[in-house]
Chains A and B, each alone.
Chain A
Amino acid sequence: MLPVSMDTVLALAGLLFAMGLVGVLVRRNVIFILMSIEIMLNASGLAFVAAGARWHTADGQVMFLFVLAMAAAEVSVGLALVLRLHHQWSTLDADVASSLRG
Chain B
Amino acid sequence: MSATFYVAGAIALVATFLVVTRASAVHALLYLIVSLLSVAIIFYQLGAPFVAALEVIIYAAAIMVVFIFVMMMLNLGPRSVEQERTWLMPAIWVGPGVLALILGAELVYALAISVPVEAGFGLVTPKQVGQRLFGAYFIGLELASLLLLAGLVGALHLARPQRATDVKGTI
Contacts and interface: CB of A to CB of B under 8 A. Distances in A.
A79 B150 contact: no
Interface in B24-62: 25, 28-29, 32, 35-36, 39, 42-43, 45-48, 50-51, 54, 58-59, 62
Given A65-B144, A79-B70, A58 B129 contact: yes
Q: Chain A: interface residue count, which band?
A: 35 or more
Interface stretch (B78-86, B90-98, B105-113, B120-128): B120-128
Contact of A2 (B2, B66, B71, B132): B2
A23 B28 CA distance: 12
B140 interface: yes
A62 B132 contact: yes
A4 to B, nearest CB: 4
A16 B158 contact: no
B31 to A, nearest CB: 10
B144 A101 contact: no
B51 A39 contact: no
A6 B35 CA distance: 20
Contact of B74 (A8, A52, A56, A86): A86
B169 A84 contact: no
Contacts of B120: 3-6, 54
Given A9-B46, A72-B62, A77-B158, A92 B51 contact: no
Interface of A: 1-6, 8-9, 12, 15-16, 19-20, 22-23, 26-27, 29, 31-32, 34-36, 38-39, 42, 46, 49-50, 52-54, 56-62, 64-66, 68-77, 79-84, 86-89, 92, 97, 100-101
15 contacts: A8-B5, A8-B9, A16-B13, A31-B70, A35-B28, A35-B29, A57-B132, A61-B48, A69-B144, A70-B147, A72-B62, A76-B152, A82-B74, A83-B158, A83-B159
